[in-house]
Amino acid sequence: MKIAFVTEMGFQGKIPDTHENMRTEFAWMYAMNADHHCIHQYQTIQGYDHVFIIFPKGKLNLNAEGSKIANQTNPSSLLLQSDLIIKLKEQNKKVYYVQEGPSWWFNDYDVQDQILFYNMLASVDAIYAHNQHDISFYQGLVPKQIIRLITTLMIDTHIKDIVVEPQDKVLIGGNFSRWYNGFQSYIVASEFNLPIWVQESHSKRENEDHIDNLNHFPRMMWNHWMQEVSKFKYAVHLMPTIAAGTFSLNCAYFGIPCIGNKNVDTQRLCHPDLSIDVDDIGAARKLAIQLRDDKDFYSLCSKQSKIYYKQFYGIESWKKMMYNTL
């Protein structure tokens, strides 16, 4: 069975087992022994049984009201206007769209590009979505399309020997932006009365460094990031955006209880007793206090997360699920 993944990344070939970012799309490619091709060279991709397209989001800069700034062009417009799907289907047996980021991302496109994106969703052989919540979205949006689940995956070759020594500190899942709800996570994390840490990202706000008791990691490769994650006792991630759910999964791997959005599958399945409606800050605060004060509850949540990680997100479970869909 010949499998290819097509993304905006510029390299061609397979993912080596020495790769330092062995999560999500890199882990998928590695687990399926798939070839990678750059989407901008789609006309040369041929002879595959299954082609998975991770379409570039074509991020636009928006103003404070969420509207597009004038005279910007969606970087993905040319692909949407091209014969991408037609050519790939002519030269390969099956072609699939793989969700990248939240399901609603394309709403930031121009109206014409939204329509073209919708037509692309309707023309592929199936759509692969991150979460059960996303499956419902695509089933409603494109009711005649086949919708399947592709869960988040991590290859633990470079992290399995990390010695877990949790320290009295809290990790929050993102910066102070509407994408991550970092401010809300910080408020809840403050209930632990411990140092709070967050990794820097492109959405870091200008004055975040001045927030009391908030410390920042620099951006780093995933295997180094996991080294840092292993040192935390608690985690809070009130991100409203429903996406791949890697943060909750990273925490579960080490048995770190994480309070988070119940609509993200990795959170709901690995941390069932800590999953909430994302805007229910009161419930999140109560859970933080319970984790802080109830050692038995903390121990239960920690043990459960490691067990459920292996049950739902181990590589053998993932391979079985994926190959069954093919």
Residue with tokens 């009295």: 168
Domain 3-150 has CATH 2.70.98: no
CA distances in angstroms from 134 to 96, 151, 187, 265, listed in the order given:
16, 11, 28, 10
pLDDT of residue 60: 45
**Intrachain domains 3-150 and 167-313 with the same fold:** yes
DSSP 191: G
- The CATH number given to 167-313 is 3.40.50.2000
For 84-136, the DSSP string reads HHHHHHHHSSEEEEE--S-TTGGGGS-HHHHHHHHHHHHHSSEEEESSHHHHH
The 10 Å Cβ neighbour count of residue 299 is 12
For 160, residues 6+ apart whose C-beta sits below 8 A from its C-beta are none
What is the C-alpha to C-alpha distance for residues 290 and 278, in angstroms, rounded to an integer? 18
pLDDT for the residue 108: 85
Buried-state track 183-215, b at ≥16 Cβ within 10 A, e below 16? bbbbbbbbbbebebbbbeeeebeeebeebeebe
Query: What are the boundaries of each domain within the chain?
Result: 3-150, 167-313
pLDDT, tens only, 17-46 = 889 899 999 999 999 999 999 999 999 999
Partners of residue 196 on adjacent β-strands: 170, 214
CB of 60 closer than 8 Å to CB of 71: no
pLDDT at position 313: 96
- Which portions of the chain are predicted below pLDDT 70? 58-75
- At 40 the pLDDT is 92
pLDDT at residue 149, as a whole number: 96
AA identity, residue 302: S
Residue 68: DSSP 8-state: B
Question: Are 7 and 36 a contacting pair, CB within 8 Å?
Answer: yes
CA–CA distance, 228 with 207 (Å, rounded to integer):
24
Residue 62 is predicted with a pLDDT of 40
The answer to whether residues 228 and 217 touch, using CB atoms and an 8 Å cutoff, is yes
pTM: 0.91
